[in-house]
Amino acid sequence: MIQDIILSVRDFLELGGPVLNIIAIVIFVMWMLILERLAYFRTGLKSLKSSIQATWADREQKRSWESDAIREKLISQFSMSANQYLLIIKTMVAICPLLGLMGTVTGMIEVFDVMAISGSGNARSMASGVSKATIPTMAGMVGALSGVFLVTVLNQKVSREVEDLEDNLTTDD
């Protein structure tokens, strides 16, 4: 069972050519970062938010220039922590279709090489190049689409959490 799955994945990666391996690595790293962010939002970000709120609640004065600066610093630290790795994830989402396009180009080059050597009538020889042209394109688009959805979810979560913290760190005495 597991051996059959491994063989199927290996065959798929071979069909797509070397660019598909790069796309697979990018998608894997992207998903690991997305899962890390989701886990961090459930654990570390909540404890950081509680810690910041406790720090703010312990302050006696909340209406001075110094207090405003400290409030902005605390909100900024929280925002930076929440946004960590999001730019890298967005970059990987943008790279996926570009790598798919690179796979298309390299596959088509292989098709043209076969056509130059054996003529345009040998469809069996061209099939390998066509699969190396289409499979990486599909994989790049699937990776990008899955990443776009989750980046949107993560951005909305960060915005909500930062706004909530801003609302909780009031300057009322």
Write out pLDDT tens, residues 16-34: 778 888 998 999 999 999 9
Tell which phi-psi region holds residue 9, choosing left (phi > 0), alpha (psi between -120 and 50) or beta.
alpha
> What pTM, to 2 d.p., does this model score?
0.79
Tell me, rounded to whole angstroms, the distance of Cα 90 from its chain centroid. 5
Contact 19, 103 (CB under 8 A): yes
Single-letter code of the amino acid located at 144: A
pLDDT(122) > 70: no
Percent of the chain with pLDDT over 70: 92
Tell which phi-psi region holds residue 35, choosing left (phi > 0), alpha (psi between -120 and 50) or beta.
alpha
Single-letter code of the amino acid located at 94: A
Write out pLDDT tens, residues 50-94: 888 888 777 777 777 887 888 888 888 888 999 999 999 999 999
Whole-number pLDDT of residue 104: 84
Write out pLDDT tens, residues 97-115: 999 888 888 878 877 777 7
Whole-number pLDDT of residue 21: 87
Write out pLDDT tens, residues 137-147: 888 999 999 99
Whole-number pLDDT of residue 57: 79
